[in-house]
Amino acid sequence: MTLGQDGPALPLYLSEPGRALADFGLYLAARPLAPRLPRGDRHPVLVLPGLLADDHSTCALRGVLRKLGYDVHGWGLGRNIGPTALCVTGIRDKLAELTEQHDQPVSVIGWSLGGIFARDLARRSPESVRQVITLGSPFRLARFSQTRASRVFDRFSHLHVEHRTLPLEPDAPLSVPATSIYSQFDGIVHWETCLDTPGEFCENIAVMASHLGLGHHPASIWAIADRLAQPAGEWKPFKAPLFLRPAFPRPAVPAAGSPVAVQDPAA
């Protein structure tokens, strides 16, 4: 896969903190709609934070899912500084622990770098993963220039026990249902790097959020709740309810040479 675009424009990058704060304001404003969120079977859910973030960054999302009845878990490994020995061993042990405890597969949600880890878990242990949902995760990264986080990531590379070449993963789709939630207004990673390869059980959902706000933006939360609410073994592509369709923009066409497809939530 060859992507012709480099990282997000500088104005998008510099405005990330302010836009993330605005996204949190939208989250607070949308809280009265929480009773209308789709509800599922209360299965276990594991949430992985992004680069330099910890479980505090996913508190809002986990709180919403917990109120919907899910047995939600943070990763409990402190700050995410990449694939350290603690991280690699910790998330695999956490998945195995939850699978054994609940005697069923676990839905794994990963934000940014956490989503790359989530997809890796699904490839290594598909029998333990019910589905994967990623938020602004550049798992189709073809060049480090397509993300503005590469220098921060490299700062901790001497602690990493896994060093991957680009592209980060093969084009073959996951063997479990996979949903990539992304934003064309992402100021950290180029949005095309978040698009999944077409497959029977994978989809891409566009929202209008900042990268740092993807975990609490109301559209992201609705899409996540909708995906988690699907009965096991009955996965269907996402379709936004009529009253929320303006929150899910029609996706832009990827650049030439990018063999990816997006799910139209209004289809």
Q: Which two tokens stand for residue 137?
A: 């995760």
Contacts of 59 (CB under 8 A, 6+ apart): none
Q: What is the phi/psi pair of residue 118, to 5°?
A: -65, -45
Residue 202's H or E segment, with its range, is strand 202-207
pLDDT band at 267 (very low <50, low <70, confident <90, very high): very low
Q: Closest Cα to residue 41, out of 226, 238, 231?
A: 231
Paired sense of beta strands 129-135 and 178-183, if any: parallel
pLDDT band at 193 (very low <50, low <70, confident <90, very high): very high
Cα separation, 58 vs 55, in Å, equals 5
Q: What is the phi/psi pair of residue 96, to 5°?
A: -65, -40
Q: Which two tokens stand for residue 81?
A: 């500084």
Sign of torsion over alpha carbons 26, 30, 34, 38: negative
Cα separation, 223 vs 64, in Å, equals 13
pLDDT of the residue at 254 = 67
Cα separation, 118 vs 22, in Å, equals 27
Q: Which amino acid, 260?
A: V
Checking if the pLDDT of 37 tops 50, the result is yes
In CATH, what class is 10-31+42-247? alpha beta
Q: Which two tokens stand for residue 192?
A: 């095309």
Cα separation, 91 vs 166, in Å, equals 23
Sequence ranges of the domains in the chain: 10-31+42-247
| pLDDT digits 0-9 by tens, 122-181 | 999 999 999 999 999 999 999 999 999 999 999 999 999 999 888 888 878 899 999 999
Checking if the pLDDT of 261 tops 70, the result is no
More confident site: 4 or 194: 194
Cα separation, 90 vs 76, in Å, equals 9
Q: Of the ranges 31-40, 94-103, 162-171, which one carries the lowest mean pLDDT score?
A: 162-171
pLDDT band at 105 (very low <50, low <70, confident <90, very high): very high
| pLDDT digits 0-9 by tens, 218-235 | 999 999 999 999 999 999
